[in-house]
Structure 1
Amino acid sequence: MNKKLSFLLPAVLALTLAVGIFIGGKLHFYDSPERLFSTNSKKDKLNRLIDFIEYEYVDEINTDSIVDVTVNDILGNLDPHSVYIPKSEMQEVAENMKGDFVGIGVSFRNEKDTITVVRPIIGGPSDQKGIQAGDKIMTADDEILYGKDLANSDIIAKLKGKIGSDVTLGVYRPVEKRFFKVKVTRDRVPIRSVEAQYMLTSEMGYIKINRFAESTYNEFVQSLDQLLEEGAEKLVLDLRDNPGGYLGIAELLADEFLEEGKLILFTKNKKGRIKKAFATKEGAFEGKPIYVLINERSASASEIIAGALQDNDIGTIVGRRSFGKGLVQREMDLGDGSAVRLTVSRYYTPTGRSIQRSYAKGYDDYYQNYMERYLNGELVSPDSIKVADSLRFVTPKGKVVYGGGGIIPDVFVPIGSLDEEKIRNLEASGFFSAFVFDFLEKDRSRFMHYPESEFYADYRVDDLVFEQFVDFVLNRKVRLDFYAHEKLIKTYIKANLAEQLYSPNVGAQVLSREDRMIQEVLRIDTEANLKESAEEQEVPSKS
């Protein structure tokens, strides 16, 4: 052997051994050649940790749950609106945002181990087969459903299915004291985002939208067309408690009120790329008075519409300062049935303001901001709203608007008293709905031949029903001055009766009588009409 080569061989072997030890320390037993020379050590660190736990940890661990926790922790360090959607929740989330689901089309309550129909969804499969409010669903394809203490998720799983599939329901109808079977063909059932539409006055229509789903724009157009046919020359668009949804749907709705070429909003991403959205066509409600209702729970797409109209000097924004969400998310598939909604840009109103409020103090502080607003008086007086001069903007007609934490309305309407808010929370928590359901269960026959219009105009909740509600709530440890707010409580009871007997639309009409914001709109609109009439009657004097 060559002496020089013989001399180098031990050194080469030593170096090879050292490299092997180094590489061995960096690899685990199933690493690929591609990963060997990967420079993304941060990603490798996370993968390694999960692999070590799965293969080496002393106890059996569900590593899927660890991954879920890890993903949530990572997103929790970004912003409050970048969220993880587990595979188990994807279908429900998708249905909610799509605006429909496949099923038999009933709203139900599972009371005393029995499934009772609150009301069939109008036009849905069950409604078409004659299922009525108060019917008891006893069996599905001869499988007994009563007396089993089934969870709502289990009931839904049995009633949902593939589109076009049949399910034979065994139904008991108490008002007729009879049992019968009916075959229902599962179909697409709408989850309506336009939950109410009606004429407030002979010339003013009202539309309430509870979220911005795929179906929302089409629902809105249908509702608006109907109101226009009924003579609507003015519109109240109710976006209170609307958490938002698809940005593109908000753009389409704003387009209905803005002239072609008007800026709706613009977005800016990480790389500074700006994308602008403009009104593109003649909208169905251009040039007509519009009032937009917002509150502290109106967010995202709701704020896009309110901001677009306010910055273009269109309409009147009524209510309280909105939530303050100016971030845009995009849903991204993670490959295993789960997904992440990741913030990819910020949006700005036409004047250039961002209404995103700070989330520097963390998730809990961000979502508890409502209490802070209540304590500092912002929900009671507009003078308590804190604004920064550095975030001051001016609309084309000279109106001053502010960024940095929600849309401040043009007309402020304070929150109700503490007891009034308690009553509102009882409604939101389902207390009124549960009471009315129990009340109807005792004897639905009294309302069987009550016409909808007659109920709306003439029905009065009597004192006996009111006292029954007081007992119902007291038994659930709720305390407030019931008798000081008797009129409001009776209105909520009647509204829930109207919803369960007829439709949510009728219930909303009942509530409008005691709705402070709606009553404020009617007041300022009346003043505007009187002012306009006075101006028209002025005759120039002769010189």
Structure 2
Amino acid sequence: MQEPTPQKPIKNSPQTVRLPIVISLTLAAGMLMGAVFFSGGKSLTDTAKGYAKFREVLMLVENNYVDSVDTDELVDYSIHKMLEKLDPHTSYFAAEEATAARSQLESGFDGIGVEFNIYNDTVYVVSPLSGGPSETVGIQSGDRLLKVNGEELSGPGATNARVFKLLRGKRGTEVNILVGRTGLKEPMTFDIIRDRIPTYSVDAAYMVDGEIGYLKVSRFSETTYDEFKTAMTSLKGQGLKKLILDLRGNPGGYMERATSIADEFISGNKLLVYTEGKDNRYNRKTNAKLKGMFEEGPVIVLANEGSASASEILAGALQDHDRALVVGRRTFGKGLVQMPIKLNDGSELRLTISRYYTPSGRSIQKHYELGKGEDYNKDLSTRFDSGEYFSADSIKFDPKLRYQTDGGRAVYGGGGIMPDVFVPRDTSMNSKFLFELYAKNILREYALRYVNDHQKTLGKQDFNEFLKKFTVTDAMLKELVQDAKKAGIKPKEEDLARSKPLILAQTKGYIGRYQWGRQRKDGLNNEIFQVLNPTDNVFQEALRQFGKAADLERGDFSSLNVEK
């Protein structure tokens, strides 16, 4: 340990000193009573001993420590460190943090838009929120946020409150973030313009052709189910017979919204998900109960390593009942249930009380060891290093965790939902130049300027005509490269050639979004998905798999080449 750097002592008035002591003792007493409530009185003596020891140490520090101390801060720190010995998802939020965290699902907020997890003083990105600034510039699941505007984010100062404080801010303001990414030796710098994080959670709903509909759900918030029903009604009115449900990058949210959507696909009163915990009061079964909007017709679910929690519940229910073909890569594997418990001072404990299981009996939760959250948070990096993102053969199934769908197909537990059809991550067009374009917002800013300069020309056509006929010309690409050079980005010819198809598609997509998407009132971003999906290898594979999806719906598994 290093000797602490001398700091100006914190001076508290007698009233200020007494207040945190009262609060902390009340908090400790509340935890003691909570132990009685949650355990039914078991191990009460051990809990009382632990409380007495903590109280004794706290009072000794307060009364005898050489300098003045912030007791509230000590209590918060001790709680955080205590919870690190548990599972990776049990967490504690101070009052301010709890309010900020709830706003992720309950209302909009200004910031950069990432779902994150903190362990061992490191901030890991679970998933960038769809439609937010972080997704726009290319932040990815598994990235490590190292610095914000030059301030260290990793280290002892990596708390929820600090992350919220540094990342959130008034829309339109810029934040510079240093990011560590698996597979790259050097950290990357991103300049992100804070924006209003959209409250909409259905990002796109459009007809691919006369029969196939595409619907993307980016998270499960308060309004997701209502948005879903509105989108499905629109698609059905346009002749929907086959559906692609895209859950990639969906970090989860409210379980009830996910099961309500599952109910729209699954007939009868079939089991959708169940939970089991140490205390049987938290054992719960959720069954289908409604006549759904789309109980007949082939369904394909797109999933990947950024699909977590509630999105895994939905994908698992549809897979186990042979109602949908899952295409993509293994999902995140977050299957622990947290109960939010509001404490007396407004802070919040999110305590893991049970596990989620799919209808076949699979635990969604990937493996973890108590107190070893660092290994847990490096799981996505481990998958990358093992080749799992690129080869189905890298996924090893544990024969002890073999389960069966309704039709007798073999499915496996062990963490996350395994796809029926594996699609590797496409890195063929990636380059350092492309990442730098994202990081500096070059593509988005160029597209916005182009739209503003060509309003009359673009306004003479509708989006469908733009989609079919518009191309990003070589002259436009040259202008874009010049913008990059002005921003200090020097492209290599081989990088430009490699990434050119994606640069052209992204630029066209942004032009479509800025010209036609901002006229929308429904929160959908159909335009950019209609431009980009034809270049998306997972989406394209899904279109080729509707024969198997139709066979699956009929109960004919012969074309699926699956183990039974």
Identify the match of residue 512 of structure 2 among 482, 498, 507.
Answer: 498
2:463 pairs with 1:463: no
**Distance (Å, rounded) in 1 between the aligned partners of 2:496 and 2:86:** 45
2:414 corresponds to: 404
1:482 corresponds to: 496
2:269 pairs with 1:248: no
Aligned partner of residue 71 in structure 1, secondary structure: helix
CA RMSD in angstroms comes to 3.8
**Distance (Å, rounded) in 2 between the aligned partners of 1:385 and 1:319:** 13
2:402 pairs with 1:392: yes
Letter in 2 for 1:456: L
Aligned partner of residue 297 in structure 1, secondary structure: coil
Superposition pairs of residues 34-433 of structure 1, within 5 angstroms: 40-100=48-108, 155=170, 191-272=199-280, 274-360=283-369, 362-417=372-427, 419-420=429-430, 430-431=438-439, 433=441
Bigger Rg over Cα: 1
Aligned partner of residue 257 in structure 1, secondary structure: coil
Contact 2:442/2:483 (CA < 8 Å) preserved in 1? no
Q: 1:282 and 1:84, CA in 2 relative to 1: closer, same or farther beyond 3 A?
A: same
User: Post-superposition shift, 1:309?
Assistant: 0.8
Aligned partner of residue 482 in structure 1, secondary structure: helix
Q: 1:324 and 1:55, CA in 2 relative to 1: closer, same or farther beyond 3 A?
A: same
Contact 2:337/2:354 (CA < 8 Å) preserved in 1? yes
Q: 1:210 and 1:45, CA in 2 relative to 1: closer, same or farther beyond 3 A?
A: same
Contact 2:213/2:242 (CA < 8 Å) preserved in 1? yes
**Distance (Å, rounded) in 1 between the aligned partners of 2:321 and 2:436:** 38
Contact 2:443/2:506 (CA < 8 Å) preserved in 1? no
1:513 corresponds to: 534
User: Post-superposition shift, 1:404?
Assistant: 0.8
Letter in 2 for 1:217: Y
Q: 1:526 and 1:433, CA in 2 relative to 1: closer, same or farther beyond 3 A?
A: farther
> Percent identity among equivalent residues?
38
**Distance (Å, rounded) in 2 between the aligned partners of 1:208 and 1:238:** 5
**Distance (Å, rounded) in 2 between the aligned partners of 1:227 and 1:305:** 20
- CA offsets per residue over residues 243-289 of structure 1, 9 Å max, x none? 11111111111101101211101111112453211100111010211
Aligned partner of residue 213 in structure 2, secondary structure: strand
Aligned partner of residue 206 in structure 2, secondary structure: strand
- CA offsets per residue over residues 427-475 of structure 1, 9 Å max, x none? 8xx5374542255348713135524514333322222433444455572
- CA offsets per residue over residues 48-93 of structure 1, 9 Å max, x none? 3334434433333333332222222122111111122232333332
- CA offsets per residue over residues 109-136 of structure 1, 9 Å max, x none? xxxxxxxxxx9xxxxxxxxxxxxxxxxx
Letter in 2 for 1:354: S
Q: Could you tell me which runs of 5 or more consecutive residues in structure 2 were left unpaired when the two chains were aligned.
A: 1-21, 30-43, 114-130, 132-165, 174-195, 518-524, 557-564
Contact 1:433/1:496 (CA < 8 Å) preserved in 2? no
Aligned partner of residue 540 in structure 2, secondary structure: helix
- Which structure is higher in RCO with an 8 Å CA cutoff and minimum separation 6? 2
Q: 1:296 and 1:69, CA in 2 relative to 1: closer, same or farther beyond 3 A?
A: same
2:560 corresponds to: none
Q: 1:157 and 1:373, CA in 2 relative to 1: closer, same or farther beyond 3 A?
A: closer
Contact 1:257/1:287 (CA < 8 Å) preserved in 2? yes
Q: 1:368 and 1:405, CA in 2 relative to 1: closer, same or farther beyond 3 A?
A: same
How does the TM-score come out when normalised to structure 2?
A: 0.68
Aligned length: 429
Contact 1:99/1:192 (CA < 8 Å) preserved in 2? no
Contact 1:435/1:472 (CA < 8 Å) preserved in 2? no
Q: Which moved more, 1:502-511 or 1:405-414?
A: 502-511
Letter in 1 for 2:301: V
Letter in 1 for 2:538: M
User: Post-superposition shift, 1:358?
Assistant: 1.1
**Distance (Å, rounded) in 2 between the aligned partners of 1:52 and 1:489:** 62
**Distance (Å, rounded) in 1 between the aligned partners of 2:278 and 2:490:** 51
Letter in 1 for 2:414: G
Q: 1:190 and 1:374, CA in 2 relative to 1: closer, same or farther beyond 3 A?
A: closer
User: Post-superposition shift, 1:397?
Assistant: 1.2
Letter in 2 for 1:89: E
Contact 1:214/1:249 (CA < 8 Å) preserved in 2? yes
Contact 1:432/1:493 (CA < 8 Å) preserved in 2? no
Q: 1:320 and 1:272, CA in 2 relative to 1: closer, same or farther beyond 3 A?
A: same
- CA offsets per residue over residues 198-253 of structure 1, 9 Å max, x none? 11111111111111111111111111111111111111110001111111111111
Letter in 2 for 1:505: N
**Distance (Å, rounded) in 1 between the aligned partners of 2:262 and 2:220:** 12
Aligned partner of residue 86 in structure 2, secondary structure: coil
User: Post-superposition shift, 1:319?
Assistant: 0.3
2:452 pairs with 1:436: no
Contact 1:197/1:208 (CA < 8 Å) preserved in 2? yes
How does the TM-score come out when normalised to structure 1?
A: 0.71
Q: 1:370 and 1:87, CA in 2 relative to 1: closer, same or farther beyond 3 A?
A: same
- CA offsets per residue over residues 285-343 of structure 1, 9 Å max, x none? 10211110000111111111111011111121000111111111111112222212211
2:458 pairs with 1:450: yes
Q: 1:68 and 1:416, CA in 2 relative to 1: closer, same or farther beyond 3 A?
A: same
Q: Could you tell me which runs of 5 or more consecutive residues in structure 1 were left unpaired when the two chains were aligned.
A: 1-27, 108-118, 120-150, 159-187, 536-543
